Amino acid sequence: MSEKRNKIVSTATRLFGRYGYHSVGVDWIIAEAGVTKTTMYRHFALKTDLIVEVLQERARACAASLEEALAQAGSPLARLQKVFEWHQEWFDADDFSGCMFAHAASEFPSKGYPVHTAAAEQKVALTRRIEAILSEMMSRDEASALAPVLVMLLDGATLSAQITGRTKAATEAWPVAREMILARAHVTPVPPIPTPVPAN
């Protein structure tokens, strides 16, 4: 990505994240990014193209950051906990303003519209990543059924942190998620320790 294109995308990401998509106009982005209209329209002919690029770049960055966090955990359960901890660290960030993908889907509700599609793709990718980890602990069908529920828990925690200021929402959601996971996990029970037989 060229330096000016990167500047446009990073500026748009900041403004969209803070003020929303419809309220931020192209002229505002141009002024903040310090580029000309010619440069803007050379890279992004339509505002929609820029929004999609912002969402896709944000999705790649989030996925890479999450994978880095997951690499620090060993067992599947520990990795799933790390997903919630990763969200908690996001909630604790000074620039936290909610989920850009959820906001995009809300502002562009028409399914099939490029912006809505880009937002939905991020949710699908996160769901599949969680499902892959769950599949190490349970059947594929069980993992497929549970993964969207865990994403709903995370989405609810995100909304709670944004709207009500419940900043520890992801931490609070994890015990609920853990119980749901363990209820479906195929855990081999630990055999009881045999009682010693007294010597005659």
> Residue 99's Cα: distance from chain center in Å?
8
Confidence (pLDDT) at 88: 96
Confidence (pLDDT) at 167: 85
Instruction: Report the half-sphere exposure of 98 (CA within 13 A, side-chain side).
Output: 19
How far is Cα 46 from Cα 60, in angstroms, rounded to an integer?
22
User: Rg (Cα) of the chain, in Å, rounded?
Assistant: 22
How far is Cα 111 from Cα 114, in angstroms, rounded to an integer?
8
Percent of the chain with pLDDT over 90: 86
Comparing 9-13, 77-81, 95-99, the range with the smallest average pLDDT is 95-99
Say whether 195 sits in a helix, a strand or coil: coil
Confidence (pLDDT) at 189: 40
pLDDT at 11 over 60: yes
The string over 173-193, giving b where at least 16 C-beta atoms fall within 10 Å of a residue's C-beta and e elsewhere, is bbeebeeebeeebeeeeeeee
**pLDDT band (50, 70, 90) for residue 193:** low
pLDDT at 199 over 90: no
Q: What average pLDDT does the structure give for the chain?
A: 92
Burial (Cβ within 10 Å: 0-12, 13-18, ≥19) of residue 112: exposed
Burial (Cβ within 10 Å: 0-12, 13-18, ≥19) of residue 114: middle
pLDDT at 104 over 60: yes
**What integer is the mean pLDDT of 7-21?**
95
